[in-house]
Amino acid sequence: MADVSVRPASADDVADLARIQLDTWRLAYQTVLPAEILQALSVEDVAASWHAAITAPPSLSHHVLVAMEGESRVGFTAFGPDADRQPQDPDPDTTAAISMLLVEPRWGRRGHGSRLLAAVADTARAAGASRLVAWVPVADAVSLQFYRSAGWEADGLRRDLDTGAGSVTELRLHASLAEAEETP
**Which tens digit of pLDDT belongs to each residue from 113-140?**
999 999 999 999 999 999 999 999 999 9
Task: For domain 4-176, give the CATH number.
Answer: 3.40.630.30
Give phi and psi for 126, each to the nearest 5: -65, -25
**Domain range summary for the chain, segments of one domain joined by +:** 4-176
For 123, the enclosing helix (H) or strand (E) is helix 112-126
**Which tens digit of pLDDT belongs to each residue from 21-68?**
999 999 888 888 888 889 999 999 999 999 999 999 999 999 999 999
- pTM of the full predicted structure? 0.92
**Which tens digit of pLDDT belongs to each residue from 142-183?**
999 999 999 999 999 999 999 888 899 999 999 999 864 443
Contacts of 85 (CB under 8 A, 6+ apart): 92, 95
Give the number of C-alpha atoms closer than 13 A to the C-alpha of residue 24, restricted to the C-beta side.
22
Q: What is the DSSP string of 66-85?
A: EEEETTEEEEEEEEEE-SS-
* CA–CA dist 25, 122 (Å, integer): 27
Give the number of C-alpha atoms closer than 13 A to the C-alpha of residue 88, restricted to the C-beta side.
3
Residue among 135, 54, 57, 127 nearest 93 (CA): 127
- Give the burial class of 60: count Cβ atoms within 10 A of its Cβ; 0-12 exposed, 13-18 middle, 19 or more buried: exposed
Asked if residues 65 and 102 have their Cβ atoms less than 8 Å apart, the reply is: no
* pLDDT, position 113: 96
- For 138-153, b where at least 16 C-beta lie within 10 A, e where not — what string? eebeebbebbeeeebe
Asked if residues 50 and 103 have their Cβ atoms less than 8 Å apart, the reply is: no
